[in-house]
Homo-oligomer: A and B are copies of this chain.
Amino acid sequence: MDRRDFLKASTLSTAAGVLAMHGLKPAHAQAGETYYMVSFLSGIDYWKDCYRGMQDAAAFLGVEAIYTGTPDYDITSEVRVLEETIAQQPAGIALTVINPEALVAPINSAIEGGIPLVAFDADSPLSKRYSFLGTGNYAAGVMAARYLGPLIGSGKAAVLTVPSQGNLLERTNGFINTLKAEFPDVEVGDDLIIDNENNTTVSATKLSALLQAEPDIKGVFSTNAPAAVGAAQAIREAGMLSDIQHIGFDYDEGTLDLIDRGELGATLAQGTWQMGFWGMMFLYMVKHGNIKSVSDWQAAGISPLPPNVDTGVVVINQSNSQYWRAS
């Protein structure tokens, strides 16, 4: 069951309209208040939507948002970019964390220097970041089970995952526990869990072998993007596209093509826009907010921000895939 809320009945207005309603000017009007988004692998599409969310919130608030990061998948490089950003004395930083431990020192130096910082998508939980906004991976697995369960009805379900990777393990646990609790006719066990090694070819090869060994498989949950592409290939090559329900994770134009061609039933889109939008709102409220009910919230050691935010996932299938195409 997909409980995503449809907003058709709510009254919408454009960001420009909201700004006008408040007498706000666009971003450049709040001279001097600049917030940064800092990423690693800064060129990948995944972050674009996070930054769009941050820009939307910045426009609403009348401040400026700047995107930066390191193009590399390299801890030292991200630490250096973060330190350079801190040196700019920005109004706040939204940071995605390549490595939880390595980023603790620069994160804490930002906080202690009076620069609000929140983590998004990937966390550094033992740092002093005010908040983490990211996908609740267990909840995402629950969503996958509630989507696949009714479609499978009865039979076996396989999972492609990386058991040693925490976020994928949580997705797997949410999926399995929910099937057991809510869809007892769907069987899933250790022998149906594939370690796909974050690799498309491994996903295809191992699932092909499993489909031969276990002809009762009626559903597949691919917990990461390489799994979805590889598993779709294995299912197609086995001639079982109409026999097996398959839900993946994340999306790009290629994934949307698979969905539209009927080679992948569905995928789960992470709430990337939500991470950026609410991350920006959070930073602004640390900078400007007030907690009237506590006489001195700084001295009392409290934060105005929720420490952990599940930004959610949305099921994309043929019914709504067109809305996710790059416009």
Question: Which one of B8, B49, B293 lies within 8 Å of A299 (CB-CB)?
Answer: B8
Question: Which one of B18, B291, B302 lies within 8 Å of A56 (CB-CB)?
Answer: B291
Question: Which one of B22, B293, B302 lies within 8 Å of A23 (CB-CB)?
Answer: B22
Interface segment, one of A64-72, A74-82, A125-133, A166-174: A125-133
- Whether A320 and B300, one on each chain, are in contact in the complex, defined by CB atoms closer than 8 angstroms, is yes
Query: Copy number of this protein in the oligomer?
Result: 2
Query: What string of 1s and 0s marks CB contacts (under 8 Å) between A275-312 and chain B?
Result: 00110010001111111111111111111111111111
Please tell me if A324 contacts chain B, counting CB pairs below 8 Å: yes
* Contacting residues, chain B, for A296 (C-beta < 8 A): 323
Please tell me if A116 contacts chain B, counting CB pairs below 8 Å: yes
Please tell me if A122 contacts chain B, counting CB pairs below 8 Å: no
- Whether B302 and A310, one on each chain, are in contact in the complex, defined by CB atoms closer than 8 angstroms, is no
CB distance from A327 to the nearest CB of B (A): 5
* Contacting residues, chain B, for A291 (C-beta < 8 A): 53, 56, 273
- Number of A residues near B (Cβ < 8 Å) is 84
Main secondary structure of the interface of A (DSSP, over half): loop
Please tell me if A24 contacts chain B, counting CB pairs below 8 Å: yes
- Whether B290 and A302, one on each chain, are in contact in the complex, defined by CB atoms closer than 8 angstroms, is no
Interface segment, one of A107-115, A203-211, A258-266: A107-115
Please tell me if A155 contacts chain B, counting CB pairs below 8 Å: no
- Whether B292 and A15, one on each chain, are in contact in the complex, defined by CB atoms closer than 8 angstroms, is yes
Please tell me if A190 contacts chain B, counting CB pairs below 8 Å: no
CA distance A302 to B22 in the complex (A): 26
- Whether B295 and A116, one on each chain, are in contact in the complex, defined by CB atoms closer than 8 angstroms, is no
Contacts A288-B18, A299-B320, A301-B4 hold; do A306 and B278 have CB atoms under 8 A apart? yes
- Whether A12 and B290, one on each chain, are in contact in the complex, defined by CB atoms closer than 8 angstroms, is yes
Question: Which one of B10, B271, B305, B314 lies within 8 Å of A300 (CB-CB)?
Answer: B314
CA distance A12 to B24 in the complex (A): 21
- Whether B9 and A114, one on each chain, are in contact in the complex, defined by CB atoms closer than 8 angstroms, is yes
* Contacts A4-B302, A299-B323, A306-B310 supplied; 19 other A-B pairs, CB < 8 Å: A3-B126, A3-B128, A4-B303, A5-B111, A5-B128, A7-B286, A9-B112, A10-B116, A12-B290, A18-B289, A56-B289, A133-B306, A139-B307, A281-B281, A294-B324, A307-B312, A308-B309, A309-B309, A310-B310
On A, residues with C-beta under 8 Å from B are 2-15, 17-18, 21-24, 30, 48-49, 52-53, 55-56, 62, 111-114, 116, 126, 128-130, 133, 136, 139, 269, 271-274, 277-278, 281, 285-312, 314-315, 320, 322-325, 327
